[in-house]
A and B are shown apart, each in its own frame.
Chain A
Amino acid sequence: MTKSRNILALLAATTCLAGPAAAQDDDTLKIGLIFTLSGPAAVLGEMGRDGFLLAAEQIGEIGGMKTEIVVMDDEQKPDIAANKARELVERDQVDIVVGPIFSNILGAIVKPVTDSGTILISPNAGPSNLAGADCSRHLFVTSYQNDQMHEVMGAYAQKQGFDNVFLLAPNYQAGKDSLAGFRHSYQGDVAGEIFTQLGQLDYSAELAQIAAMQPDAVFAFMPGGMGVNLVKQYRQAGLETIPFLSAFTVDESTLPAQQDAALGFFGGSNWAPDLDAPGNAEFVAAYEEKFGKVPAVYAMQAYDAAYLIDGALREAGGTADKDALIAALESAPFNSVRGDFSFGPNHYPVQDFYLTKVVQREDGKFATSVVEKIFDDYADNYVGECQMN
């Protein structure tokens, strides 16, 4: 008897959950943001979200339309992300989805979003398959192709005449892609190549090997907490005389923890807070004022995504004509805070890449700083495989 009451309660809970389906309203622009907002990697997701919302606040009515923004947390779990994406598309009926940070999450949401004809803008993840064979008309990437930051460092190592570089990356897909990217533009010898465990805490075993080999330089890809551990331990092991080249290892998301341990360490990037480009100084200042920290690329790329949407909507005259909107997006009608920016035929950016270095600013905060331009108007290596349909 009581049991059946439970079930009624359950049913009631289910129906509560069924929110009223959003009425299609052509004057309102609905944008769904999907970022990793919980768990250890939340800091990156928060930067992405904050960067986008900052731009949205500055613009006011994006594309001259009444704007509604729904924010979702993907929890960095692909299956949850896939469901959240479908919720955005089917229940909230958003016009555009912006997100996520991680490639595996993008892999999980790209099908549900683009199958429904909704436009998806990735402000960070840029996996190779979506740049090449699996490219989609409805997907735009405002960041980079994943290999490119590593190619920058490979090119720099080549240019410096290093011929004995030690490579270090976590044992997972992005780690393998990273070392492949580095080798793509580096022809010298490899002193050693180690794949560490994902989430590894202690790098003394690897650092001991580096000390024993004394390579010309070390190239590391250690995102997030792993990078903090590695950089601190690298400095403590007394290896700072060996140049430390990296990608996604020393940036504004990890520098508050690495601090002076990372001073002078090199990275490859498509941007840095002190990059001399129109609007960049204003963006960095506004972000710092609002959120109290120095933005990293994740914030910048999402900020750009908002202005991209704004520009394209104004050109296409709203969301009604999808084909016109896609055509408008392709022409990238906005001023990126990183300067030169255009889309290749695969909807991945063609942009400049820089060597950056960690510095302490006058206000005491740590940030990356542009050293020199490595690539000019650089496109990715997969664009040829893309047959846009």
Chain B
Amino acid sequence: MTNLFLLQLLNGMQFGILLFLIAAGLTLVFGIMDFVNLAHGVIYMIGAYLAVTFAQMTGSYGLGLLLTLPATLLIGLLLELLVFRKLYDRPHLDQVLATFGLVMVLTEAVEIIWGAAPLSVRMPDLLSGSVPLVGPMRYPVFRLVVIGAGLVTAAGLWLVITRTRIGMRLRAGATNRAMVSALGVDIRKLFTIIFAFGAMLAGFAGAMVAPILTVDPGMGESVLILAFVVIVIGGIGSVKGAFAGALLVGLVDTLGRSFGPIILRAVMEPSAAAQAGRVLAPMLVYILMAAILAARPAGLFGART
């Protein structure tokens, strides 16, 4: 039981880090540019599709992943130029709607280009095994790689934002746009860079999960809401918050799923516990979010409302 608990703890963390990879780009764009981008999930999906295509072309997942990064960066630039640039000064509602429209356009485009059938990419043999953990339990190597990638991304973002000149400008731009542009910083160019970088992060997340998750036209939508839950719980714009929120969501979801019914069984009869567990498990993450927002309306690490 303790072993299982530890393993589930690890699983919860890993799921959380997966969510962080997806949410990182979202919270960056959201926090610094105050821009709600529902199309983030779609860019993540496109990243996964591109990784599949590039991997097929080059015959190597690693090369595919590397090619995906500049490709999604480019897509981000293009979208920023065509659509997002016009929306920065608009209310959130306009942003939500325009990007909701983009979700429809891009999802359908993906279906036209790649078809509706799920695709997948073969993971490198080197990373495809599993390592023994305790007793008969094993842990897939690639999962460890995902955890590593998530931690490196988190550390990298933290360094860039707190320790570099561009990070300083970003923080300043988020606090007071007018002041920063008055000081001679080209805020538009800055925003373009952040946006493209955010898209690349989404593409990176998509390419990273392609070997473990199905690549299909619904994959963007299935994580989008969770990613939003993560950044809202953490407090919008805070990378630290997104990290904490992602881990919290991952742990609550995983542990709740596997231990919720066991705990419920202690307080009610088994059949009722099973029933209640089934009803509660999918709602757990949303209950968590509602509870956190009820107590702290701006999320755990959020300053602005």
Contacts and interface: CB of A to CB of B under 8 A. Distances in A.
Interface of A: 38-43, 46, 171, 195-199, 201-202, 204-206, 208-209, 211-212, 214, 224-226, 228-229, 232-233, 236-238, 253-254, 256-261, 293
B119 interface: yes
Contacts of A233: 140, 212
A38 B109 CA distance: 12
B18 A202 contact: yes
Most buried by B among A40, A253, A293: A40
Given A43-B118, A201-B222, A236 B142 contact: yes
Interface in B199-227: 211-219, 221-223
Contact of B118 (A197, A211, A254): A254
Contact of A171 (B15, B138, B213, B278): B278
Nearest to A207: B11
Q: When A and B form their complex, which 6 residue pairs have the shortest distance between CB atoms, in order from nearest? A: A40-B218, A228-B214, A42-B116, A257-B118, A238-B130, A236-B140
Interface stretch (B1-9, B90-98, B165-173): B1-9
Contacts of B212: 202, 229, 232-233, 236
Interface in B99-127: 108, 111, 115-120, 122-123
A232 B211 contact: yes
B222 A43 contact: no
A208 B7 contact: yes
A224 B137 contact: no
Given A197-B281, A256-B117, A209 B258 contact: yes
Contact of A229 (B117, B128, B213, B254): B213
B265 interface: no
Contacts of B128: 236
13 contacts: A42-B111, A42-B217, A43-B116, A201-B213, A202-B18, A204-B143, A205-B258, A208-B11, A225-B219, A229-B213, A236-B143, A238-B138, A254-B118
A225 B118 contact: yes
B147 to A, nearest CB: 11
B184 interface: no
B7 to A, nearest CB: 5
A198 B222 CA distance: 10
B127 to A, nearest CB: 9
A295 B60 CA distance: 29
B257 interface: yes
B140 A238 contact: yes
A204 B11 contact: yes
Given A208-B8, A236-B212, A39 B218 contact: yes
Contact of A198 (B135, B137, B282): B282
Contacts of A293: 117
B27 interface: no
B258 to A, nearest CB: 5
Given A204-B14, A232-B211, A211 B116 contact: no
B118 A237 contact: no
Contacts of A202: 11, 14-15, 18, 212-213, 254
Contacts of A211: 136-138
Interface residues of B, number: 48
A237 B4 contact: no
B59 interface: no
Contacts of B129: 238
A332 to B, nearest CB: 31
Contacts of B115: 43
B276 to A, nearest CB: 12
A229 B4 contact: no
Contacts of A208: 4, 7-8, 11, 137, 258
B221 to A, nearest CB: 8
A40 B218 CA distance: 5
B297 to A, nearest CB: 27
B118 A224 contact: yes
A39 B221 CA distance: 10
Contacts of A226: 214
A225 B138 contact: no
Nearest to B3: A212
Contacts of B137: 208, 211-212
A257 B212 CA distance: 11
Given A201-B223, A228-B214, A238-B130, A209 B4 contact: yes
A42 B126 CA distance: 34
Nearest to B111: A42
Nearest to B282: A197
Nearest to B130: A238
Contacts of B219: 40, 225
Contacts of A39: 217-218
Given A171-B281, A199-B222, A214-B136, A40 B216 contact: yes
A226 B139 CA distance: 20
Given A195-B281, A197-B282, 6 more contacts: A202-B213, A202-B254, A211-B138, A212-B135, A232-B120, A237-B140
Contacts of A205: 8, 11-12, 254, 257-258
